[in-house]
Structure 1
Amino acid sequence: MVTPDAFYHVALKVPDVGDAVAFYREHLDGDLLEHEQPDEEETGATAVEHAALMVGDKHLYVFDRAPYEAAGFVDELPYGVLHFGYTVDDVDAAVADLDGDVSFVMEPTVFGDLKVAFFEDPAGTRIELLEFLD
């Protein structure tokens, strides 16, 4: 069993990242933290447009497509909620603690200053475990 430290964020797939940012800023007083577009030559999980906002006390990430979708780990996903993210002290240990019947979307992987892993609940909802690296 994994005991997360905190609920950290929700990630959404949207048809237009700029429109989503404008909506959350205007209607929910979201604070834009970053908005990045990939370089034309980028491929894989980093080849996505995304923005990060603080809405209330939680992060909201909006993507034009999920990084694990862009990397080819899953088929094309519909618009809407991509996943929920929970922080843990050690992603590798948390993954090892999960029961054997868990379906992984992505094994532990380092992205910059994060280590992340994605798995699915029985209904197919994706859950991210994330560890902040020093």
Structure 2
Amino acid sequence: MISPNAFFHVALKVPDVGEAVAFYREHLNGDLIEHEQPNEEATGATAVEHAALMVGDKHLYVFDRAPYEAAGLVDELPYGVLHFGYTVDDVDAAVADLADDVSFVMEPTVFGDLKVAFFEDPAGTRIELLEYVD
């Protein structure tokens, strides 16, 4: 069993990031933190349009494709909820604690300043564990 530090975010895959941002800003008073579009040379995990908003006290990430999907680490995912994320002190230790009990979608991988791993609950809902690394 692990004890996450905090519930951190929900990630969505949408067909139109700008339209989703407008919706969450207009209807839930979301505060836009960033909205980035990939440049022409972007590949893999960086070839993704995404936006980050604060809705209430939580982050909402909106993607045209999940970074781990764009990097080829998982098969193409449908639109909707991609995952929800919890922060932990040590992703590798958390994965070791869970390894016998859960189905992993993606083993620990570093993306920028984050180390992440994904696993599924019994119904197939994806859960991300994330650790900030230097």
Unmatched runs of 5 consecutive residues or more in structure 1: none
In structure 2, how many angstroms separate the alpha carbons of the residues matched to 1:119 and 1:40? 32
- Give the TM-score normalised by the residue count of structure 2: 0.94
SS at match of 1:106: strand
After superposition, the C-alpha distances for 1:20-45 in whole angstroms (9 at most, x for unaligned) are: 11111111110111111112222212
In structure 1, how many angstroms separate the alpha carbons of the residues matched to 2:123 and 2:39? 35
Match of 2:46 in 1: 46
Match of 1:89 in 2: 89
Per-residue deviation, 1:99: 3.6
Residue identity opposite 1:60 in structure 2: L
Match of 2:63 in 1: 63
Per-residue deviation, 1:102: 2.0
Match of 1:21 in 2: 21
SS at match of 1:21: helix
Match of 2:30 in 1: 30
Runs of 4+ deviating beyond 4 Å: none
Which piece of structure 1 moves more, 70-79 or 9-18?
A: 70-79
After superposition, the C-alpha distances for 1:26-68 in whole angstroms (9 at most, x for unaligned) are: 1111011111111222221221110000000000000001112
Matches within 5 A, 1:102-121: 102-121=102-121
Alignment check: 8 A CA contact 2:74 2:106 kept? no
In structure 2, how many angstroms separate the alpha carbons of the residues matched to 1:129 and 1:13? 18
Match of 1:79 in 2: 79
In structure 1, how many angstroms separate the alpha carbons of the residues matched to 2:66 and 2:120? 15
Unmatched runs of 5 consecutive residues or more in structure 2: none
SS at match of 1:24: helix
In structure 1, how many angstroms separate the alpha carbons of the residues matched to 2:50 and 2:114? 16
- Give the TM-score normalised by the residue count of structure 1: 0.94
SS at match of 1:65: coil
Q: How large is the RMSD of aligned CA atoms in angstroms? A: 1.2
Alignment check: 8 A CA contact 2:14 2:79 kept? yes
